[in-house]
Amino acid sequence: MEALGALRHRAAEARSTRALGQLLQLLRGDPRPGARALAARIEKRLADERRERRRLAALFALRRRLALQGARIVAGVDEVGMGPLAGPIVAAAVVLPERVALPGLDDSKRVLRADRERLAKEIRAQALAFGVAEVWPDEIARRNVYRAGLEAMRRAVLALEPLPDFVLVDAFRIPDLPMAQRAVIGGDRQCAAVAAASIVAKVTRDRFMIELHRQDPRYGFDQHKGYATPEHLAAVTRHGYSSAHRRSFRPPSLFDGIDEPGSSPE
């Protein structure tokens, strides 16, 4: 059943579009410069809305094809955090209903922070199911970054209830999944559920990094989220590694001579 909030949003959107269309018809017969300028702005807004509706509809095209082939519950899964020097890898898996009200849904890297926060909340409210999993630095060191990312995605999928019968994965194939899957290159830009998963994973990981900053503000995790920015590298040079840093993913040329976690006098 479609979420009540999504239905209300769609109804309000339809009313707004109809009202703008009616106003545009009136303005087209008005020769005054101000009316013409307003009509041009309305035309642009309506054209932008049509493009956005077509883009969002295209994000569900693969899901519709899979449904025709018999897939009933299709999940999208994505991970964030394989590249940073610190913090966890976080993965999310999302099952979306056939109709959603998620304006601006896209790859998390192409969405502004405030919009990611809004979308993550709306995705959780409208999703039929979602699962989140993380792998922290100690386990990343045991598995290596690549395998840790796959494991985070596997756990996120298995956290779904009910389990999906088909999984769409951004770029990877996940080992040891008990259901069919497909790796989709650029999946977070082509599949609505994968895009939704990328946003939930990104927002969740950012919150973890903000909490790590609260626990130890020396490194600025709230700003760079663990990536190898000049500010982050300078902080590691000053303070040594923290327990949040990954032992298995340290470029030697950047970190020669830097102390191990716990060895800094600070």
Q: What is the pLDDT of residue 252?
A: 52
The answer on 41 and 120 residing in a single domain is no
Domain limit, last residue, from 164, 187, 203:
203
The answer on 192 and 70 residing in a single domain is yes
pLDDT tens-digit map of 105-140: 998 999 999 999 999 999 999 999 999 999 999 999
Three-class HEC string of 103-151:
CCCCCHHHCCHHHHHHHHHHHHHHCCEEEEEEECHHHHHHHCHHHHHHH
Judge whether residue 24 has pLDDT over 70: no
Q: What is the mean pLDDT of the chain?
A: 85
The answer on 87 and 34 residing in a single domain is no
The answer on 86 and 40 residing in a single domain is no
The answer on 82 and 144 residing in a single domain is yes
**CA-CA distance, 77 to 156, in Å (whole number)?**
8
- Tally of structural domains, the chain: 2
Q: What is the pLDDT of residue 11?
A: 35
The answer on 144 and 17 residing in a single domain is no
At residue 45 the predicted structure's pLDDT band, cuts being 50, 70 and 90, is confident
**Tokens 């579009």 found at:** 17
Domain limit, last residue, from 155, 170, 203:
203
Domain limit, last residue, from 203, 227, 255:
203
Q: What is the pLDDT of residue 254?
A: 52
**CA-CA distance, 138 to 246, in Å (whole number)?**
7
Q: What is the pLDDT of residue 187?
A: 86
In a domain, 187, yes or no: yes
Range of the domain at 196: 63-203
Judge whether residue 30 has pLDDT over 80: no
pTM here? 0.78
Query: Can you give the CATH number for the domain in which 165 is found?
Result: 3.30.420.10
**CA-CA distance, 67 to 180, in Å (whole number)?**
13
Could you please report the per-residue DSSP string of 36-105?
Answer: HHHHHHHHHHHHHHHHHHHHHHHHTHHHHHHHHTT--SEEEEEEE-SS-SBS-EEEEEEE--SS---TT-
DSSP state of 32: S
In a domain, 80, yes or no: yes
